[in-house]
Chain A
Amino acid sequence: MSTTMEQGRTAPGTPDGPRLGYLSGILTVFELEMKQRIRSRAWYVMLAVWFAVIALVTGLAAYTAGFDEGTGQVMFELVVGFVLFFGFLVVPALSANSITGDRAGGTLAILQNTLLTPGQIVLGKWLAAWVAALGFLVAAVPMIAWAMSYGDVYLPAVPVFLLLAAVELGIACAIGVGVSARSNRPLFAIVASYLLVALLGLGTVIAYGLSYRLVESTAVVHTQVFPNDPWSNVEYDAEGRVLGEDGEPLNSAEEQAFFEEIDRKYQDPAIDTEYYVCSSQGGVQPVFHTERITWLLAANPFVVVADAVPQRERDPESWGAEGPMAAISQGVRMSQAGPAATTPCLDGVKREPTDLSGQPPIWPLGLGLQLLLAGGLMFSGRRRLATPAGKLATGTRIA
């Protein structure tokens, strides 16, 4: 009992009264959270497991892609995709207990009883969860660098990939913290966060697939004719034998020579075998107006990242994609373009060579939807933390 209490206090609410700056409140909550996270062993165990899993995936990707030069882009996209995927598996566990845990431990009420506002608590907790999640991204950087060492990576894509992965992890953290602020039981918060994250990652794809029937319609599609393609001009008789130029079936020696000739023509770069015209004959076929349901895919984190990342200039008629991310982006843009761009002889009109990059980017819509969901949950969580508390769920104690 050696010290004395401070005497002479200022009245509350006056300019001299105690004040807590908005930012410093957030940072203090952040610091408090980080200290606890850094000191828990679970965090390091998770990081080690994470590192091992990403290393394994990168190793397997390297083995699959071969050890050739120039496969860096595929490797890079594969590894970043997996980092994102595993990130989504880890992040709800990192964030969804941050407020329910405090509620269970009795420390939430202590924070609420200081000068902190509910918004500062939610934002501080979110920031800490996000930084913890970024730790996992940082731990994956050596593997990303390893993937890039295979060369030929489109460098402008790298910072955008990393930035968007960071943003997506932040959104997942916001979902976790928002749910956590709303729920009373840690288990419920974690399961609900996983379900919401799965809703973005898998639910969007399932909804897209199931909506296909809703956008089905019919169109007259004419048959394609490839006049320069030697294969398409081969004629067969009723028994499946190849017919010669005289209309008689060929014997096996003749057939052999005939095929070699066709193959030579097919390989000849001077002949454009892809050239086609639309015949006058056509039939009614089902077509799917995917342009009406592509927005469902937009909120998928992989779509957002893949679509936002800049890609190397490519031949507009080439259908091949360099890596899995580029393939996702291209698939989504084709879906956006709909049957008009993907059906060759729709209504007997020859499809113009489509430049899919002419499609508007879909990632701003997706990011907007995600931010709406995450922001809404954070806002609703903030309201739940407001004190004096009005409604309480039955069976919960505030302290």
Chain B
Amino acid sequence: MSTTQHASDGRFPGGGIIASGLARSFGPVQAVASMDFSAPPGQVTALIGPNGSGKTTLLLMLASLLRPDAGTISICGIDPVERPRDVRALLGWMPDTLGVWEALTAREILTTVGKLYGKDAAAARERADELLDLVKLGGYAHQPARVLSRGQQQRLSLARALVNDPAVLLLDEPASGLDPGARIDLRNLLRRFAAEGRTVVVSSHVLSELDEIADRAVFVSTGRTIREQSVDEAGAQSRRYGIQGLDVRALMEALGKAGVRYGLPESQRRNGVTVQLASEAEAAALLRTLVSAGVAVTAFAPASGALEETYLSTMSSNGEAER
């Protein structure tokens, strides 16, 4: 179970998401067994878990599309089961399926969705052009969506989720199919939304990316929330570091003298060692020791991203790790 506090209304006065005790099954399949989830405004919350862990089902419940069998949800203080339309006015949802109308042009799709949020035709068109520039699809405004590449359709889908200027953004695998440039744009965009005070929830498999986007992470597995953690906490925890030197033997001797246990990585390309260190302070101290012992260190860095570290340790303790 999560280590953080649980739903008390008014915890996030500026909006945000609080969900507790959520359960949802599809026939005999218990997609979500017991999930608590919170996402404060002004932060990017990552939703992390293996395939089939209930991430998409959770997002569908948060997006007011699926009724939970049990539990409560509050989106900016509104219950999506009781008042779905009020929640939808505030919500931007980007599904993991692309869902574009292929015969329509990018601009028409955004204009239509704008109208469905109650905008008049002129305002909807203006908003569509604004968003096409935002996701850098301005040059494709008059192309039918079917000719767009997967990454472009993904950006169009993101733009569609932003049509109503949402206070809460739910993004299911937004980075899949994006080229590196578009991933950087997405990261900057999400950071900006958070800075503007919006609540941003991102589910993703690309953990290294989430380190840079997310402020905090919620880990789910087999339909349960198993951990909530801020990225700062994740960085402060005990983690593995990879060390490489010009002379690996000298490096290993110096580590032996310092009394640090090390391992030889099996799958790394270069020669080096990995060590488990309790904190960043300990890492800094070890580096100082090595350098003063005259070891020529060429690389000294965390072996994996902070969230990846948590993911692997959490999932292995749950017997669920995918690799």
Contacts and interface: CB of A to CB of B under 8 A. Distances in A.
A392 B67 CA distance: 10
A28 B116 contact: yes
Contacts of A35: 103-104, 108
B78 interface: yes
B13 interface: no
B118 interface: yes
A28 B110 CA distance: 12
Given A12-B86, A28-B116, A3 B133 contact: yes
A15 interface: no
Contacts of B118: 18-21, 24, 115
Contacts of B134: 1-3
Contacts of A106: 95, 97-99
Contact of A389 (B67, B103, B131, B192): B67
Report whether over half of chain A's contact residues are helix, strand or loop; otherwise say mixed.
Answer: loop
Contacts of B91: 113
Interface in B81-118: 81, 83-91, 93, 95-104, 108, 112-113, 115-118
Interface string B131-165: 10110000000001000000000000000101011
Contacts, number: 130
A394 interface: yes
Contacts of A388: 61, 64-68, 80-81, 84
Nearest to B170: A113
A18 B64 contact: no
A109 interface: yes
A20 B188 CA distance: 32
Interface in A303-339: none
A110 B99 contact: yes
Contacts of B101: 32, 36, 107
Q: How large is the interface on B (under 10, 10 to 19, 20 to 34, 35 or more residues)?
A: 35 or more
A390 interface: yes
A115 B160 CA distance: 14
A44 to B, nearest CB: 13
B99 A105 contact: yes
A291 interface: no
Contact of A399 (B99, B165, B188): B99
Given A3-B134, A35-B103, A113-B93, A387 B83 contact: no
Contacts of A31: 112
Interface in A33-57: 35-36, 39-40
A30 to B, nearest CB: 11
A36 B103 CA distance: 6
A394 B31 CA distance: 12
Interface in A85-130: 105-107, 109-117
B88 A113 contact: yes
Given A18-B117, A18-B119, 10 more contacts: A1-B192, A2-B133, A9-B165, A13-B86, A17-B86, A32-B101, A36-B103, A39-B103, A112-B65, A113-B88
14 contacts: A1-B189, A5-B196, A17-B86, A18-B117, A32-B101, A110-B95, A110-B99, A113-B64, A113-B93, A115-B88, A388-B61, A388-B64, A388-B68, A399-B95
Interface of A: 1-3, 5-7, 9, 12-13, 17-21, 24-25, 28-29, 31-32, 35-36, 39-40, 105-107, 109-117, 387-390, 392, 394, 397-399
